[in-house]
Chain A
Amino acid sequence: MLSRLVLVSGHTLKNSGSFGACMVQASRTFHQSSQSLAPVPPLPEKGGKVRHGIFPEELFTLLYPKTGVTGPYMLGTGLLLYMLSKEIYVINHETFAAASIGAVVIYGIKKFGPSVAAFADKINEDKVAKAQEVKDQAMASLAQGIEDEKKEQWRVEGRHMLFDAKRNNVAMLLETNYRERLHMVTNEVKKRLDYQVELQNLHRRMEQEHMVNWVEQSVVKSITPQQEKESIAKCIADLKVLAKNTQARATLNLRIFSKVLKITVKNVWGKPGFPVKRLLA
């Protein structure tokens, strides 16, 4: 955890070069050997392994062949006893202050260390995820753009259909016009022939009517006054005979009707089942 922080800060220090105005010269004096342009290998995920928080694992692996597992512990104990007994390190009130502070610090790190580390990692992850999302969106939109362009090219290929449709329209219009002309010619000729026929019919009708009128007039003219008086007298006599006949027939009908009525009343009135009320209503 600490080593991660150390590595990151060290990296930024290297990147920012030196301080102030002497930046360029300072960075150049640091490069002793010729520069190689190979890409920088990726940074390790975790720092070097340590035991008990401070002592690197390499010490233990170094001493293992000669002294086994307990070697470094014996070394440590010996060194500590040496320093205490020879009073190279003097125990005073500062020792207790250091011990208490050390205890609190170690407790704090053990308790809150992982959560702080996770928080820092999450911030980093979010940054990377955002960048990745931007990249993905850009790639998707580019691919979509390419697809759309291809589609537009396909559309352009169909432009000949428009002109085919136009030419078809023109051909249809021409054909329609031609047919209309043919029809018009036929209709005109037919009209003229029909006119002649109608004219003839009219002539004949007029001749007929004229003849009929003329015959009527001549007949009426030929009736003499003597013939007229005779025909009127005959008409009056005929009317008189007709009137007498009609009167006789009328009285006969009346007598027959009254007889029938008497018979009906005698037979039907007052018998049971006769619908008086319905008749009267």
Chain B
Amino acid sequence: MAGRRAAMKAIDWVVFAERVPPNQKAMFNSLKTRSDSIAAKLASLPEKPAPIDWSYYRSVVAKAGMVDEFEKKFAALMVPEPVDTQTTKIDSQEQEANKTAAAYLEASKARIAECEKALEKFRNMIPFDQMTIEDLNNTFPETKLDKAKHPYWPHKPIADL
């Protein structure tokens, strides 16, 4: 019993709530309510049941030896502890989550690298008032006028002016 009790970790729900992304808040709330109800149920049960007053029963019950027999059997009785079937499942879930988290981190780092690269390009750009049209077309390829498609000035559809 004591060994099982030590396996429970104290969970800081406030810190946990901070780490939950906003689109999963509903799931977090349901988890919290379930956990709280389970904890309340556990707290409502006393740890040991009230002991049976054997001397009273011995004095009252007339049948000889019945109380003694009950007492002996009761003391010898071992209540089996319930078997834990879920912890292995939870552990395997945790392993999977670790793997997906690692993959997500990789993708996230790739995205950050891309953002950094674009940011560098913007930082190293020459200021606009020193640019020529050629420099502008090199930096922002979408500004290049397509002289093959629209050979006559203004080289873009009139609606785009």
Report A's interface with B, CB cutoff 8 A: 11, 15, 40, 42, 128, 131-132, 135, 138-139, 142-143, 145-146, 149-150, 152-183, 185-187, 189-190, 192-193, 196-197, 200
Q: Is the CB of A166 within 8 A of B90?
A: yes
Does B41 interact with chain A (Cβ within 8 Å)? yes
Instruction: Please tell me if the beta carbons of A200 and B45 are within 8 angstroms of each other in the complex.
Output: no
The prevalent SS among residues of B at the interface is helix
Chain A residues with Cβ below 8 Å from B50 are: 186
Q: Inside 8 A of B86's CB, which chain A residues have their CB?
A: 166, 170
Contact of A155 among B21, B91, B111, B133 (CB under 8 A): B21
Additional A-B contacts beyond A164-B9, A185-B49 (18; CB < 8 A): A135-B122, A149-B111, A152-B21, A155-B21, A159-B98, A160-B94, A165-B16, A167-B87, A169-B34, A172-B8, A172-B38, A177-B82, A178-B79, A179-B45, A179-B47, A189-B74, A190-B52, A200-B61
Contact between B128 and A163, CB atoms less than 8 A apart: no
Inter-chain contact A172/B132, CB cutoff 8 Å: no
**Does B118 interact with chain A (Cβ within 8 Å)?**
yes
1/0 per position for B24-53, CB-CB distance to A under 8 A? 000000010011001101100111111010
Q: How far is the CA of A271 from the CA of B129 in the complex (A)?
A: 127
Q: When the two chains form their complex, are residues B38 and A169 in contact, meaning their CB atoms are under 8 A apart?
A: yes
What is the CA–CA distance of A192 and B16 in the complex, to the nearest angstrom?
49
Give the residues in chain A near B1, CB-CB below 8 Å.
178
Q: In the bound complex, how far is the Cα of B57 from the Cα of A63, in angstroms?
A: 137
Known: A138-B122, A178-B82, A193-B61. A145 touches B111 (CB 8 A): yes
B8 touches A168 (CB 8 A): yes
**What distance in Å separates the Cβ of A90 from its nearest Cβ neighbour in chain B?**
44
Give the docked Cα–Cα distance between A40 and B129 (Å).
13
